[in-house]
Structure 1
Amino acid sequence: MIKEQSQLTFAPWIKRTPGQSATGATVVFPHAGGAAAAYRGFAAALARGGADAYVVQYPQRADRLSHPAPDTVEQLAADLFAAGDWAQLGPLTLFGHCMGAVIAFEFGRVAERHGVEVGQLWVSASQAPSTIADSPRLPTADAEVVANMVDLGGTDPRLLADEDFIELLVRAVRADYLAFNRYACGADARLAADIHTIGGRSDHRISEDTLRRWEIHTAGAFTLSLFDGGHFYINHHIDAVAELVNAR
């Protein structure tokens, strides 16, 4: 029996958008440095055509600015799982963009170990967990962090000219990158959940072949879909991506 929302317990920094369906939920995991507010429109699109949407907030940004950053992706995922009454929501759909997909993958592993059903993981513009340890380390020096974010795109250039914004952005990105740089995952790590990958056809960081490497991390079905655009293709296809997720 699914509990009413008033009976559920969630940390205040887990942002809920009520949906149309009485069962299940979609949990959204932002990209490195990303705040929950950046996914408000996507959450609304998911909720319009499906179940409740929840966007998690990582430490070191927005209303969690004073919260210490976990040392590892695994610890971050475990903390996010401990912050919500996820077991009462019915089958979970997880959606993560870029680093958020890896956090969602680890969140899914924690959920499955606790007997919480995860129906599907949606991977957006992300490399597979088993490939990360052998990849170049992400930058953590201020100037290099900013340059990397500019290269990825997705950030309003007007904000990049704001020194206060840059200071907060670098703080959040560095916390996420340090955890990501410590991450290692074996090729035998799998979810029972289906994995659906999505990317931008013009993404110069994450290719179609890179997305296909996620297939080894599921014991279920695997799909791959591409949209026009680069690394942040999702900003231009919010409704279409939400419709694709809800259709599953």
Structure 2
Amino acid sequence: MSADATFKPWVKRYPGGAPDAPATLVFPHAGGAALAYRGLGTALAAAGSDAYVMQYPQRGDRLTHPAPDTVGELAADLFDAGDWAALGPLRLFGHCMGAVVAFEFARVAESKGIEVSSLWVSASEAPSTVAAAPALPMAESEIIAEMVDLGGTDPQLLADEDFVELLLMAVRADYAAFNRYGCDDDVRIAADIHTLGGDTDHRVSENMLRRWETHTSGAFTVSMFEGGHFYINDHTADVAELVHAL
């Protein structure tokens, strides 16, 4: 990392150790906090990347920060959190909604002349397909049912009223922004796009991942792992090695 680079304190950094370690920025799923990606950040650092895990408003140490109205505003908020130009070519990794946030972050970065070498898309529908998809739920009971269906959240935590209250605030903020999102088929970034998914994910299929190819003017790949929507929890080290290798 450049000695001149500065970042908001809520950007969680996991140093890769080498002075010239490439920067990998991690964008959590809807309702996800930076803490949930500590394992991936640590694995990326072990693989040789400088990992920077984003914290969205309405959770963790940004609990009182107002929620952006749109995914574009959220991406701009995250872009303004750091001196990304000082890090050289960036790698971006986003899981589920985080992949769309990362895509919009890449658009902002490229418009500012900052090179993004690759966007890693994990278990996410393509930007151009979001608007036609069913709206994400906003009612408490429906959100909880959605969390149970997707997996990735400890059922014991969902029985904790205080946890659920904070979770609902974060999820509603993210879902509201995502429900307003739209993107045309012909919107592209220069960065390569590499997609990853679980072979038993009942929400995001391999064919849905392949729709991302229309959004890059660079290279495109698809890699599938054993598991469901949160396959990444069982393959964290393998995913980190793959991201760092390209």
TM-score, length basis structure 1: 0.97
Displacement of 1:23 in angstroms is: 4.1
Percent identity over paired residues: 70
In structure 2, distance between residues paired with 1:185 and 1:20: 38
Is the Cα–Cα contact under 8 Å of residues 23 and 91 in structure 1 kept in the other structure? no
Give the AA of the match of 1:243.
E
Partner SS state of residue 94, structure 2:
strand
Displacement of 1:51 in angstroms is: 2.2
Aligned partner (choices 59, 62, 75) of residue 61 of structure 1: 59
Aligned partner of 1:219 in structure 2 is 217
1:2-54: per-residue Cα shift (whole Å, max 9, x none)?
Answer: 622xx321111000010034143000000000000000010111011122100
Aligned partner (choices 2, 9, 26) of residue 6 of structure 2: 9
Give the AA of the match of 2:129.
T
Aligned partner of 2:157 in structure 1 is 159
1:63-101: per-residue Cα shift (whole Å, max 9, x none)?
Answer: 000000000000000010011000000110000000000
Partner SS state of residue 225, structure 1:
strand
In structure 1, distance between residues paired with 2:236 and 2:49: 16
In structure 2, distance between residues paired with 1:73 and 1:50: 30
Stretches of structure 1 that go unaligned for 5 or more consecutive residues are none
In structure 1, distance between residues paired with 2:219 and 2:69: 32
Give the AA of the match of 2:243.
V
TM-score, length basis structure 2: 0.98
In structure 1, distance between residues paired with 2:225 and 2:49: 24
Count matched residues: 245
Q: Map of 1:1-248 to 2, 5 A cutoff? A: 3-4=2-3, 7-21=4-18, 22-248=20-246
Partner SS state of residue 219, structure 1:
coil
In structure 1, distance between residues paired with 2:146 and 2:96: 13
Is the Cα–Cα contact under 8 Å of residues 21 and 48 in structure 2 kept in the other structure? no
1:194-237: per-residue Cα shift (whole Å, max 9, x none)?
Answer: 00000000000000000000000000000000000000000000
Is the Cα–Cα contact under 8 Å of residues 42 and 238 in structure 1 kept in the other structure? yes
CA-based RMSD: 0.8
Partner SS state of residue 65, structure 2:
coil
In structure 2, distance between residues paired with 1:116 and 1:31: 24
In structure 1, distance between residues paired with 2:48 and 2:99: 20
**Structure 1 moving runs of 4+ over 4 Å:** none
Give the AA of the match of 1:208.
E
Partner SS state of residue 33, structure 1:
coil
Stretches of structure 2 that go unaligned for 5 or more consecutive residues are none
Give the AA of the match of 1:48.
A
Partner SS state of residue 195, structure 1:
strand
